[in-house]
Amino acid sequence: MTVLEVRDLTVRFGETPAVQGVAFEVARGEVLGVVGESGSGKSVSVLAVLGLLPRQAAVTGSVRLHGRELLGAPEKELTALRGRSLAMVFQDPLAALTPVHRIGDQVAEAILAHQDLPRKQARARAVDLLDLVGIPEPGRRARAFPHEFSGGMRQRVMIAMAVANDPDVIICDEPTTALDVTVQAQILDVLGTARRETGAAVVFVTHDLGVVAGLADRVMVLRAGRVEETAPVDDLFFRPRTAYTRNLLAAVPRIDRRHRRSAPPPGGERVLQVEGLVKRYGRGARAVDRVSFAVRAGETFGLVGESGCGKTTTLMEILALAAPQAGRIVVLGRDTAGLTRRERLELRRDLQVVFQDPMASLDPRMTVHDIVAEPLRAHGLAADRVPELLRLVGLDPGQAARYPQDFSGGQRQRIAIARALALAPRLLVLDEPVSALDVSIRAEVIALLADLKARLGLSYLLVAHDLALVRGIADRVAVMYAGRIVEIGPVEAVFAEPRHPYTRALLAAVPVPDPARERARRRAPLRGEPPGGAAAYPGGCRFRGRCPVYAELAAAPASRCVNEEPELGGADGAACHHPSGGTR
C-alpha cells in the first residue's frame, strides 16, 4: 500500500531549479534509499515533502500522503501532520537538538504536540521512548541537556522523537553521516527497531552506498536535481541501467576487496619515527598514550580509529616538530626535541600537511597563486614554481588569479595539495584528505595522490576514519583505540585477518556496497561508544568494556584483561591478551 507518493516535484531557489521532476513512492514497511552526490537535490527533495524548505523556495508538483495533497496545504494542516504522520531524523545530531532544553522535555514536546496528554504522562512516555532507542538509565538521562550526550546518543534521541507518535513515514536525512562506524551500525539497528515498532515507510537519504545496500528495498539515484534511475536494490547494484550509476558504484572504495599494489621498497629509510609518544591535555587522561610507529620512505602509512581515539592529536604532535611531553619523534633522522628555531623551519620544508576541509583550510581572501606561493615566500624562495605546481596537481595555471571559492571541492583540495608540495617535501601528512569530498571526486583525488607519490617519491602519513579508503591506498596501517595503538601491520594482513577484537568489530561495522553480502551479514554491532578524549581509563585493557571476546571469557583468562594492559609486540601485531577469542 503506497503511503507517500511524490510526482513531478520541482523546487526552485530564485531562477535555478534545485530539483526537477522528481517522482517516487514508498509503501508501508518499505525502505526507499535516496542516493546522490552533494548538490544532487536529495535533501531538498525530502525537505520539500515535509514543507520545511526556507520560504524563498518555490515548490511545484504533487506530494500525497495517503492520497492527500500536501503541497499548498495550509500550514496548520502540515504542522498537524509533521511529527505525527511524517517524522524526520536529521543529519547532524550535534546541531539538531535545542541546546537549552532538557532531552526528556524535547521528546515530550514531540508527544505533546500531537497528543492530548497530561505533561507528566508525556514525560513518562518520553522515558519509555528513550529506553526503546537504547539509552541507558533513561529516567536519569532524560534530565540531561544535549551537550551532555555523545553524537550517537543524540541521534538515538532524534529517533525517539521521530517514533513518538507512531508515524506512517520516517524520513532520514543522512542520519549516520556524522557518526563513527561502530556507532553507525548501532544507529542503523535502532532505526530497524523503529521501523518494526511503527511499521512506517522509510525514506533514507544518504551518500553512502554501503548503507543503502544493507537497508533499502528500492533505491533512487539523483543527479543534479533529476532522477537518474530508480530500481530495486539488487538491480541497482548488480544491473545498473545508467552509466552514471555504474561510475558511482565503481568509484566507491571497497573494504571487502583486496587491492593489488606495488610493494614499497623493502627496508627503506625511516622518514618518521614515533616512539612512546604521550600527550595529555591539562590534567585530563592521556589523549595519546605511548604510541610508537614508523613511516618508511616511499610508503603510505595509515592511522585509523574512531573520533577521540587520538589519531589527530598524534598528527598534531608530529607537525609541531617540538619536544613531546614524553617519548620521541624523529623526522628524517632528526629528533624534534633538540631542534633550534632555525632547524625547525628547515625541517618543515620536508614535512607538509593537507587538511580535511579545503574550504576551511584555504584563506578565502587570497588568490590561488598567493596560497600556493605562501610556503615558498615563508622560506625565502621565489614564487616562480607556482604554475608548475598547479599543473602538477591537474589545475590550469591560468586560473591562479582566482579565489578558492571559485573552485569546486575537489579542485580546492588540489590547491591544498599544490600548496603542500610547494617546498618539495619528503613526507606528506594527510589528515582525512578526501572525507569532505563526494565519492567520484574522492576517487580522482586519491588517484592524484597515488600518482604524485610515485612521481615525486613521497611518503604519506594518512589519518582517516574511512577504512575502505585506507585499505585502498595504505601499505601499512595502525589501528588506534582510546589513545593507544591496538593493532599494527601490513594493510592486507590487518584487513584480511584482523587480530584485535576491536579491529574485527571496526571492519565488520563498515557497510559494503553489495546487497547480497549485506543481507548475508549477521550484524552484531559493538556495544557502547568510543571513549572521548577526556575519559579516564582504569587499569587493564581499555577496550574490555565493549569487547565481545572479553564478554565470553571465563573468569581466569578475563582477569588478565582487567589487571594487565595489553601491549603491542606479540607475533600478532595486536595489543590483546586473547587475540583469537581465547581459544589459543
Asked if 414 touches another protein (CB under 8 A), the answer is no
Of 114 and 385, which has the nearer Cβ to another protein? 114
Using CA atoms, how far apart are residues 94 and 178, in angstroms rounded to an integer? 9
* Stretch of 108-116, 215-223, 407-415, 562-570 lying at the interface with another protein (CB under 8 A): 108-116
How far lies 163's CA from each of 103, 132, 152, 185, in Å? 15, 10, 17, 19
Contact between residue 65 and residue 170 where contact means Cβ atoms under 8 Å apart: no
Of 56 and 340, which has the nearer Cβ to another protein? 56
Asked if 81 touches another protein (CB under 8 A), the answer is yes
Single out the residue of 135, 77, 59, 73 nearest to residue 104, CA to CA. 135
Q: Containing H/E element for 535?
A: none
Beta-bridge partners for 12 = 17, 58
Asked if 161 touches another protein (CB under 8 A), the answer is yes
Using CA atoms, how far apart are residues 317 and 128, in angstroms rounded to an integer? 45
Asked if 127 touches another protein (CB under 8 A), the answer is no
Q: Which of 52, 117, 383, 535 binds another protein (CB under 8 A)?
A: 52
Q: Which of 25, 92, 217, 234 binds another protein (CB under 8 A)?
A: 92
* Stretch of 83-91, 117-125, 277-285, 435-443 lying at the interface with another protein (CB under 8 A): 83-91
Of 81 and 191, which has the nearer Cβ to another protein? 81
Write the single-letter amino acid at 466. D
* Stretch of 98-106, 126-134, 467-475, 482-490 lying at the interface with another protein (CB under 8 A): 98-106
Of 151 and 240, which has the nearer Cβ to another protein? 151
Q: How far is the CB of 180 from another protein (least distance, A)?
A: 20
How far lies 151's CA from each of 102, 187, 308, 399, in Å? 16, 11, 12, 40
Q: Which of 9, 18, 48, 88 binds another protein (CB under 8 A)?
A: 88
Asked if 90 touches another protein (CB under 8 A), the answer is yes
Asked if 125 touches another protein (CB under 8 A), the answer is no
Q: Which of 145, 244, 355, 403 binds another protein (CB under 8 A)?
A: 145
- The residue count for binding another protein (CB under 8 A) is 29
Using CA atoms, how far apart are residues 372 and 90, in angstroms rounded to an integer? 37
Using CA atoms, how far apart are residues 301 and 412, in angstroms rounded to an integer? 24
Asked if 98 touches another protein (CB under 8 A), the answer is yes
Asked if 87 touches another protein (CB under 8 A), the answer is yes
Q: How far is the CB of 114 from another protein (least distance, A)?
A: 6
Contact between residue 334 and residue 347 where contact means Cβ atoms under 8 Å apart: yes
Using CA atoms, how far apart are residues 132 and 380, in angstroms rounded to an integer? 62
Report the sign of the C-alpha dihedral through residues 304, 310, 316, 318, in that order: negative
* Stretch of 78-86, 452-460, 467-475, 481-489 lying at the interface with another protein (CB under 8 A): 78-86
Burial class (CB in 10 A: 0-12, 13-18, 19+), 21: middle
Asked if 156 touches another protein (CB under 8 A), the answer is no
Asked if 202 touches another protein (CB under 8 A), the answer is no
Report the side by side order of strands in the sheet with 57-65. 16-27, 2-13, 57-65, 68-69
Asked if 169 touches another protein (CB under 8 A), the answer is no
Single out the residue of 343, 344, 355, 336 nearest to residue 272, CA to CA. 336
* Stretch of 106-114, 240-248, 299-307, 366-374 lying at the interface with another protein (CB under 8 A): 106-114
Q: Containing H/E element for 235?
A: helix 233-238
Q: Which of 5, 25, 109, 217 binds another protein (CB under 8 A)?
A: 109
Q: Which of 23, 27, 71, 113 binds another protein (CB under 8 A)?
A: 113
Of 101 and 521, which has the nearer Cβ to another protein? 101
Using CA atoms, how far apart are residues 16 and 213, in angstroms rounded to an integer? 32
Q: Which residues of the shown chain bind another protein in the complex (CB under 8 A)?
A: 50, 52, 75, 79-84, 87-88, 90, 92, 95-101, 109-110, 113-114, 145, 147, 158, 161, 165
